Structures are given as C-alpha cells and as structure tokens.
C-alpha cells in the first residue's frame, strides 16, 4: 500500500468522524433551543423529547471515540494529523456535556410547570439560550473552516454570556425579594441559567480547540470573565 493511498484513507476516515461531530452539534443546538421553548411554553411533551434525545447525542460521542481510536490504530497519523484526531475527540466531549445541560434544562422545565410563573423569566432564559447556541454554531463553523479569527470572536463573546447570566441572576433576586412565592421557581431558573452559561464555556472550549488545531498552541491569554457577584471583569 503506497503512502498516497494511506493518506487518502486517513482523510476519508477523518471526514467521516468530522461529519459525526457536526451531526452531534446539530442535535445539541436543537436540544438547547427546544428545552428553552419547552420552558417558555410549559410544553411537557417537548421537554420529554429533549430528555429522550440525549441518548442519540451520547451514542454519537461514543461512535466518534471508537472511530478516532480505530483511525489512530490503523492509520498511524503524523503529529499534525494526530492533533486533528484529538481535537475531534475533545470537541465531541464538549458537545456531550452541552447535551447533558440541555437535558437538565428540560427536566427542570417540567418541575417549573407546576410552580408559580415568574414574569419575564422564561423569555430571559430563551434569549440566553439563543446567544449560547449561536456561539456553538460559530465555534463549529470555525472548526470546519479552520477560522482562527472566528474562533477568537467566540472566545470574546463568552464575556457577553457571563454578563447576560449576571443580569438574569439579579433579576431573579429581585423577584425573590418581592414575593416569597417566587423563591422556589427562581432557584430552579437560576440553575437553568447557570447550566446555559456553562454551555457557553463549552462553546468557548471548542473555539480554543480550533485555535490549537490551526496554530499548534492554546491561546496564551486567559478567558475574559465577569464576576457573578460584582459584575466586574475578572480573570480565570
């Protein structure tokens, strides 16, 4: 078997694994948006579909890991190609965790359906989810295009997500102080908002993997963050 044939086989196998990653990303994006919609509309059937759909996301991650392990074992990739394979595995792991957060959001939306409705809260959650999903879409697009500039933009936008989360957190505190009946639902809503904010962190991780893949080095500067208690810029 000549080297050109081996290279072609590696590229074909890698493209197949990357296609699985993109399919996985599409499922995660849909799950997050559907979970937010289920919360806003108090749609238990939609929430149930999000929860059951997490199995497909988990199965894709497992398939990607198997394919990548087989690719490494059979194709003996060079250092740069091995970096690409490892990036695929890390991105799929980040997507799997994001899928878990979508499932948790759907679970809590069912509980919230039995509780006092907090005015405006579901809309705030939906806007946060849409912003985070756009980050995830752009991070995966940056991966396919090997676009470092877009990946850097995703990293910067993580701070915007932090600010949105902090604003929502303060909104929930106000509701709890105004009416004790809001304490229970606001606690659940806070966990939901925090989970969505963490999905933003995973989208940022995907973007950082893109930068690593293209440049060979992780970003040197720490992610810009916003402290959740003071609203002041923080690092780490």
Percent of the chain with pLDDT over 70: 90
pLDDT value of residue 224: 57
Q: What pLDDT digit, counting tens, does each position of 119-159 carry?
A: 999 999 999 999 999 999 999 999 999 999 999 999 999 99
Q: What's the average model confidence in pLDDT over 33-38? A: 95
Q: What's the average model confidence in pLDDT over 90-112? A: 95
Mean of per-residue pLDDT scores for the chain: 89
Q: For 170, what's the count of Cα atoms within 13 Å in the CB-facing half-sphere? A: 10
Domain 3-230, CATH class in plain words = mainly alpha
* pLDDT reading at 230 higher than 70: no
Q: What pLDDT digit, counting tens, does each position of 176-194 carry?
A: 999 999 999 999 999 999 9
pLDDT value of residue 132: 97
Rounded Cα distance, 50 and 101, in Å? 11
Question: Which pTM does this prediction carry?
Answer: 0.87
229: DSSP letter: T
* pLDDT reading at 233 higher than 50: no
Rounded Cα distance, 213 and 148, in Å? 9
Q: What pLDDT digit, counting tens, does each position of 205-217 carry?
A: 999 999 999 998 8
């Amino acid at each position: 078997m000549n080297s050109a044939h081996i290279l072609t086989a590696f590229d074909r196998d890698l493209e197949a694994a990357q296609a699985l990653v993109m399919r996985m990303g599409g499922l995660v994006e849909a799950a997050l948006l559907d979970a937010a919609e289920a919360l806003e509309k108090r749609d238990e059937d939609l929430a149930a579909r999000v929860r059951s759909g997490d199995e497909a996301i988990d199965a894709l991650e497992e398939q990607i890991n198997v394919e990548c392990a087989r690719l490494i074992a059979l194709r003996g990739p060079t250092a740069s190609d091995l970096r690409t394979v490892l990036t695929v595995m890390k991105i799929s792991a980040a997507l799997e965790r994001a899928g878990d957060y979508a499932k948790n959001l759907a679970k809590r939306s069912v509980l919230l359906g039995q509780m006092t409705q907090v005015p405006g809260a579901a809309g705030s959650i939906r806007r946060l989810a849409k912003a985070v999903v756009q980050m995830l879409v752009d991070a995966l697009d940056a991966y396919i295009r090997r676009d470092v500039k877009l990946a850097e933009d995703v990293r910067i936008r993580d701070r915007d997500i932090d600010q949105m989360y902090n604003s929502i957190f303060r909104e929930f505190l106000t509701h709890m102080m105004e009416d004790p009946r809001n304490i229970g639902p606001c606690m659940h809503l806070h966990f939901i908002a925090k989970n969505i904010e963490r999905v933003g962190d995973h989208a940022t991780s995907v973007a950082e993997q893109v930068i690593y893949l293209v440049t060979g080095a992780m970003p040197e500067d720490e992610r810009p963050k916003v402290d959740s208690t003071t609203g002041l810029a923080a690092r780490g």
